[in-house]
Amino acid sequence: MEQFNAFLVLLDSNLSGSWWFPALLIGTGIFFTIYLGFPQFKYFNSALKIVSGKTNNTESDGETTGFQALTTAMSGAVGTGNIGGVALAIWTGGPAAIFWMWITAIFGMTTKYVEVTLGHKYRTKLSDGSISGGPMYYIEQGLNMKWVAILFAFLMMITAIGSGNMPQINNIALVMNTEFAVPKLFTGLFLGALLWIIIIGGIKRIASVASKIIPIMGLIYFGGALIILVENYQNVIPSFNAIFAQVFTGSAAMGGFLGASFAMSLKYGVARGLYSNEAGQGSSPIAHASSKNKSIDQGVVSILEPFIDTIVVCSVTALVILSSGVWTQKFDTNFSKTDMVVLEGIYSDEKTIDGSYLYPDHINELTNYVQSIDSNVKEFSGLLEIEDGKLISNNVTVIHSRSIAEDITISNTNNINDGLFSGKVNVLNGKVTDQVSISGKSLVSSAELTAKAFSQGILGQYGGKLVAIALLLFAFSTSITWCYYGDRSTAYIFGEKGVVWYRNFYVLCFVLAAVIDTTVVWNIAYVVVALVSIPNLIAMFVLRKEMKSLSDNFQIK
């Protein structure tokens, strides 16, 4: 598993982790924003009127209303990215990463407008009477490149599982286990069965469920977030300052947080922004294509999607995490071997009375190390001496979750002799190779970090449970919608006969992902999201003149 994870990290470093992918993603949004005359601002009010039903310009074909199509697409976008993904961006890129999430969303509003309009225009009616649309159709018909369309559809089938499926149930199972002590496998099996019941009803049942879940989960989540923000009102303005102050320099070390470079803030801000609102990814057009609205009208409606998803929901999550201060605090947690490394020598993040680091050189070296920048830090190989669960080797430092671990306890993992471990543990290139369980204090990330933020102050333990419930609704609705994206892509390549097989495999992966390592699941998502976006972004640019004509003919409501 560790070798597979290393392979995923290598792929990601050459895709979303390299300079060209953020440039392509944001560059496409910037180009169309200028080329189409800033439609995300010009048509924003029209989008509100259309989705509210104040204007009625529908076509006869279609399976859903404009509002249902929007909420279906929103249910696909609003998921773990808004709860766990934002926390992950702050954990890796610091507060400055949120700024780049906003930038991605602002230009993503235009990107979404373009891809949804084109996806709706080139949609088709299948032999069973259902509507199917998305980038594969405008790639085939608009570009006359069937093989690229098939490639996109195949990548979307994988993305639906690797992005819209596995990270969702993985985060649900983690939080349900942490907050309610529900076994992860039980969560996977129960929700997997419920998922199957819903998806076999097709887009009409999916849209019906989505249009009800989205408002409910919004009220639950925003209600809890408002309580936290009111309680920490004095930290809200400083949180905004933290986001803007180090945008072009990276985030400085603070508390247990070791700092982040500009490159890391940009990378994870853009990556989490894309994962959150899906602009340019080509997924949302598949849901919007089912709408009865005219193509350009539904495109205008889709402008609201990145705004609500990232500018509103993600910002609320970020402010709760930053204002509560939990992103720099260490908590008791079970260590994941993927996120843990043993280093040679002793490093410290101890503070002086005035709050500055006692050993700033240690922090600088570790900051470079955790961000894969050249440093003098060396990974330990050899044997660790353990006595009654405590590490007695005095020449090493354990890093977990990108922070210096404290109060480390090593336990046996077998059922025969369960308890504190005594003896020697093998370490190779910083990684523990023996089967032992390790726990201690370190930073936490993903949905667990958001749960910690909601658990501070007046909400107490109920804050974490609120996040668990919100995540359950957010992520489960995402998994429902993404199955539709995958089965429409399957239908495009293999016909409707292949859809039932894809749904079976989708539900199987959903159940298995409940017990798979979190870091591996997220790294799968990073890779497949980048891969599927590339052909879509290129196709949009090639069809720019057609989009310009459609946009110029839109009558502002």
> Is residue 17 scored above 90 in pLDDT?
no
CA atoms within 13 Å, Cβ hemisphere of 107: 23
Listing DSSP states for 371-394 in one string gives TT---S--B--EEEEEETTEE---
Cα separation values, 483 from 75, 319, 372, 480, 506, Å: 12, 31, 36, 5, 7
Q: How far apart are CA 541 and CA 460, in angstroms?
A: 50
Mapped onto helix, strand or coil, the DSSP state of residue 461 is helix
| pLDDT tier at 416, thresholds 50, 70, 90 | very low
Local confidence band at 60 (pLDDT 50, 70, 90 cut-offs): low
CB 360 within 8 A of CB 367: no
3-state secondary structure 492-542: HHHCHHHHHHHHHHHHHHHHHHHHCCHHHHHHHHHHHHHHHHHHHHHHHHH
Helix, strand, or coil (residue 246): coil
Predicted confidence band of residue 301 (pLDDT cuts 50, 70, 90): very high
The Cα 31–Cα 502 span in angstroms is 36
- The length of the chain in residues reads 557
| Contact indicator for 260, 250 with CB cutoff of 8 Å | yes
- What is the C-alpha separation between 412 and 410, in angstroms, rounded? 7
Class of the CATH domain delimited by 2-329+452-552: mainly alpha
Q: Where in the chain is the domain with CATH 1.20.1740.10?
A: 2-329+452-552
Look at residue 428 and tell me whether its pLDDT is greater than 60. Answer: yes
Could you give the residue ranges of the DSSP H alpha helices within 325-390?
360-370
Position 556 pLDDT exceeds 60: yes
pLDDT tens-digit readout, 237-279: 999 999 998 898 888 888 889 888 888 888 778 777 776 788 8
Q: Quick check: 303 and 500 in contact, CB under 8 A?
A: no
Query: What is the distance of C-alpha 423 from the center of its chain?
Result: 40
368-407 confidence digits (pLDDT tens): 898 888 889 999 999 999 999 999 877 999 999 999 999 9
Question: Residue written as tokens 């209303």?
Answer: 65
Give me the residue label for tokens 């501070």. 456
Band (180; pLDDT cuts 50, 70, 90): confident
Gap between the Cα atoms of 448 and 331, Å rounded? 10
pLDDT at residue 417 greater than cutoff 60: no
Sheet of 340-344, strand order: 340-344, 396-400, 403-404
Q: How confident is the model at residue 347 (pLDDT cuts 50, 70, 90)?
A: very high
Say which DSSP state 85 is in.
I
Measured CA to CA in angstroms, residue 240 lies from 83, 115, 126, 234, 521 at distances of: 18, 32, 49, 11, 30
**DSSP state string for 5-35:** HHHHHHHHHHTTTSSHHHHHHHHHHHHHHHH
More confident residue, 421 or 353: 421
Residue 408 backbone phi and psi in degrees, to 5: -75, 135
Considering the chain, what is the average pLDDT of its residues? Answer: 87
**Rounded-to-integer distance, Cα 442 and Cα 462, Å:** 22
SS3 245: helix
Confidence band for 522, pLDDT divided at 50, 70 and 90: low
HSE-CB of 14 using CA atoms within 13 angstroms: 5
Tokens, residue 537 = 């972004």
- Give the chain's largest Cα–Cα span: 75
Q: Give the mean pLDDT of 462-486.
A: 87
pLDDT above 80 for 290? yes
Is 270 within 8 Å of 99 (Cβ atoms)?
no
b/e for 12-36, b at 16 or more Cβ within 10 A?
Answer: beebbbeeebbebbbebbbbbbebb
Q: Which one has a higher pLDDT value, 472 or 191? A: 191
Q: What is the pLDDT of residue 37?
A: 96
The pLDDT of residue 277 is 81
Neighbours of 468 (CB within 10 A): 23
E strand or H helix that includes residue 334: strand 331-334
Given CA atoms 161, 12, 106, 46 in this order, what sign does their dihedral have?
A: negative
Q: Are 157 and 486 in contact (CB under 8 A)?
A: yes
Our measurement of the distance from residue 366's CA atom to the centroid of its chain's CA atoms, rounded to an integer in Å, reads 26
Nearest to 198 by CA among 508, 517, 481, 521: 481
pLDDT above 70 covers a percentage of the chain that reads 96
- Residue 454, pLDDT > 60, answer yes
Q: What is the pLDDT of residues 75-131, one digit of tens each?
A: 777 777 788 789 988 998 899 999 999 998 999 999 999 999 999 999 998 777 778
Global pTM? 0.85
Percent of the chain at pLDDT exceeding 90? 47
Candidate from 149-163, 219-233, 311-325, 412-426 with smallest mean pLDDT: 412-426
Rounded distance between C-alpha atoms, residue 357 and residue 173, angstroms: 37
Read off the pLDDT of each residue in 532-553 and give the average, rounded to a whole number: 93
Cβ-contact 281, 529 below 8 angstroms: yes
